[in-house]
Structure 1
Amino acid sequence: MEVHVQRSTILAPHAHPLKEVPLTIFDLFASNINIAVLFAFTAPTPSNTEIIEGLSKTLVHFPLLTSQLDYSRLRRRPCLVVGGKGGGALVVEATVDADLSDFLPLEPSADFHLLHPPTEETHHLFQVQLNRFKCGGLVVATITHHRVADGQSMSTFFVAWGETIRGTPITSLPVYDQSWIKPRSPPKCEFQHWDLEFVRVPPYRNGSTSNQKDEDPSKITNILLRYSSEFITTKLKPKTKGKYTTFETVLAHLWRKITMARGLDDRRHTMIRVTVNGRPRMRPPVPNEFVGNLVLNAYPESNVKLLLQGGVERAAKIIHDAIRRIDESYFQSIIDFGAMHGEDDLVPVYDTDGDVLSPNLEVDSWLRFRFQEVDFGGGGKLCAFLPDLGAFRGFGHLRPGFGAGWGFKCCCRVV
């Protein structure tokens, strides 16, 4: 794939008053990494000028995406600086000497890194590259720093961007109210958060950690698994008597299959780190349009022998029970934890993992996000959506698929 960069532009922050927004405990828990995704649209599509103008107008409502991260020790807690000098969103325009149809359906490929802006430009928390194919097709590749927003937030943003390009009002305006992130008086931690969400000491000593495992990235390969609605409905759901959600059922199936493929000893334990959206769990519930991070993890675990002998139903129950435990009281507990340890050097557990998670897994659900609703107009249609998972062995996610049946896709690293 030959990609030719034509020009780069920085959309400067709009004239917002200078404001410092401290990172919440949920922002600090998020991985300190960039998240990259690809949207592919068939021709015809709006011009680059129309898309960039639409982006500029949308960013007025999402100013955190043009802010700057400040980790200065002069502050009690890292913060986002809105409206200051610098910042802005990076926009790259490029052309590709090929037809989009040559790459459909999108499969994980190292070549797709060419379609993304350079990730070393970490100064910009939101970056986008518009890739025009010879046939008129368009791939919009974006990079967003995870400490600014989670998947739910970004799906709200992308839908709003498409609406702005099409000249329609934004149907779901972002919500920034953080009044619900309020510790009790006095704060009280009812659950253990050290070593589950955060570690006590910075993980890096002389460039490594005691529990960090790394592997040559070239030996780790993305794979894409497709599960049709029919397979889930007629093959998997009957095994659980329909008692569990689609996510819990498919994840139970994957957990057992991956554990078998790894050939783990029967006496070992295996665990899945599962992301849990706190918006519907808070009381009162937080709107889906809340922009920021509001995700914690559940940790279903099992002895390998029991996991493989117990079948899909038992595995789904383990997952279901672990997710249910991450309820409103758990989210309130970590809010209090943040109040008690706000001046500590909080390091999320993600920073200690390395890129080999075996015998464990991390699997996220994107099934309820709105990425498949993104519509840039012009007559073309969204025909593919693909996140870049990075080089982590044992990481994956479930998301809605494109095409007949709207089944489900799972992206994961081979084990």
Structure 2
Amino acid sequence: MKVKIESSKLVKPFYEGNPQPPTTYTPLSVFDKVTYDQHEAAIYAFKPPTPSNATIELGLRKALAAYSEWAGRLGRDDDGEPIILLNDEGVRFVEASVDHPLTETVNFQLSPTLLSLHPGLEGVVELFQVQVTRFSCGSMVVGFTIHHFVADGCATRNFLVAWGEACRGLGISPLPFHDRKIFSPRNPPKFEFEHRGVEYITKNLEKVFSLVDNSVEDIMIHKVHYSKEFLSKLKFRASSMNGTNKPFSTFESLVAHL
């Protein structure tokens, strides 16, 4: 599969007339400091019709206004502690194309060829990167990488939902909670559970294969298909417990179920 890069640029938050937040940086929580210092990647495929790249980019800029950490950079404060600089340096936005239909070029089995559908993971200064790849059939693949210091799986899901809402011209709800000081250790410390021998273990991992090694094909993949009827019942059941709030989406209901 030959992926042609059409453009690559930095995209910055769009505050829509609202002033930029005065905060200059966000400290990392104790959990952030012990998690993986690396980017994680994911790809999503969409059948036509799909929104234009301009719509996707504008929605991204609006979402970044609420998730300003994503457009920042890693740094250190005066005490040498790691922080996220809220400098609006921007995220990497790549537009690409493939001169073949999606179904003929990508089978979505775990393969090194999928690495060309998202930006690279090594030597990255941006905390969030996006690649929008268009196929000749009209399908679209959105691949992205996010630094684990900025977001975990739950936060990434919330951002993707916010991005989609912004692309559709909707308000972002719920807004993210940025105060990581809620995870500050108690003073004096109070140890109720033994964590040091469980979560905080020194990592002695040996790299056994490269990201582009064919050995990744040995990894097993399990696929589960749910009927529309099951998903409808699941969504109804989840939303019925949500009180007067708006119903959960099918995606939210399924993820909670899993």
Match of 1:30 among 35, 57, 62: 35
Q: How far does the alpha carbon of each residue in 1:23-52 deviate from its partner, in whole angstroms, 9 at most, with x for none?
A: 101111221111101111111111101110
- The 5-angstrom pairing of residues 35-184 of structure 1 reads 35-71=40-76, 74-83=78-87, 87-102=89-104, 106-178=108-180, 180-184=182-186
Q: 2:205 aligns with which of 198, 212, 229?
A: 212
C-alpha change, 1:97 and 1:121, in structure 2 (3 Å) is: farther
Give a deviation string over 1:349-368, Cα, whole Å, max 9, x none. Answer: xxxxxxxxxxxxxxxxxxxx
Correspondences of 1:390-405 after superposition (within 5 Å): none
Report the Cα offset of residue 2 of structure 1: 1.0
Runs of 4+ in 1 over 6 A off after TM superposition: none
Going from structure 1 to structure 2, the CA distance change for 1:107 and 1:33 (only over 3 Å counts) comes to same
Q: Deviations over 1:275-334 (max 9, x none)?
A: xxxxxxxxxxxxxxxxxxxxxxxxxxxxxxxxxxxxxxxxxxxxxxxxxxxxxxxxxxxx
1:20 matched to 2:15: no
Match of 1:225 among 218, 222, 225: 222
Going from structure 1 to structure 2, the CA distance change for 1:184 and 1:18 (only over 3 Å counts) comes to closer
Aligned partner of 2:243 in structure 1 is none
Q: CA deviation at 1:152?
A: 0.4
1:120-167 per-position Cα deviation (integer Å, ceiling 9, x unaligned): 351000000000000111000000001101010010110111111111
How far the C-alpha of 1:114 sits from its partner, in A, is 0.7
Instruction: Work out the CA distance in 2 between the residues paired with 1:161 and 1:177.
Output: 21
Give the aligned partner of residue 10 of structure 1.
10
The CA distance in 2 between the partners of 1:52 and 1:96, in whole Å, is 19
Q: CA offset at residue 21 of structure 1?
A: 1.4
Q: Deviations over 1:232-290 (max 9, x none)?
A: xxxxxxxxxxxxxxxxxxxxxxxxxxxxxxxxxxxxxxxxxxxxxxxxxxxxxxxxxxx
Q: CA deviation at 1:71?
A: 4.4
CA distance in 2 between counterparts of 1:89 and 1:146 reads: 15
Task: Provide the C-alpha distance between the structure 2 equivalents of 1:7 and 1:107, rounded to a whole number of angstroms.
Answer: 27
1:225 maps to amino acid: H
Whether the 8 Å contact between 2:5 and 2:94 is mirrored in structure 1 is yes
Q: Distance in 2 between the 1:96 and 1:371 partners? A: 30
Supply the RMSD in Å over aligned alpha carbons. 2.8
CA contact under 8 A between 1:21 and 1:82: conserved in structure 2? yes
- The alignment of Structure 1 onto Structure 2 pairs a total of residues equal to 227
Q: Indicate the SS of the match to 2:103.
A: helix
Q: Report the Cα distance in structure 1 between the residues aligned to 2:249 and 2:123, rounded to whole angstroms.
A: 27
The share of aligned pairs that are identical, in percent, is 34
**Once the two structures are superposed, what CA deviation does each residue of 1:174-208 show, in whole Å capped at 9, x if it has no partner?**
122345324334211222333433357xx7xxxxx
Native 8 Å contact 1:13 1:67 kept in 2: no
Deviates more, 1:161-170 or 1:219-228: 219-228
Mapped partners of 2:23, 2:179: distance in 1? 18
State the shift of 1:67 in Å: 1.1
| Structure 1 stretches lacking a partner, 5+ long | 204-210, 231-368, 374-398, 401-406, 409-415
Q: Distance in 1 between matches of 2:162 and 2:31?
A: 24
Query: Are 1:158 and 1:371, in contact at CA under 8 Å, matched by a contact in 2?
Result: no
- Please state how far the C-alpha of 1:97 moved relative to its aligned partner: 1.5
Map 1:304-343 onto structure 2 (within 5 A): none
For 1:341-380, list aligned pairs within 5 A: 372=251
Amino acid at match of 1:77: E
Say whether the 8 Å CA contact 2:97–2:134 is kept in structure 1. Answer: yes
Give, in whole Å, the separation in 1 of the partners of 2:201 and 2:222: 34
Distance 2:250 2:90 in 1: 23
Asked if the contact 1:7–1:93 (Cα under 8 Å) also holds between the matched residues in 2, the reply is yes
Instruction: Name the structure with the higher strand share.
Output: 1
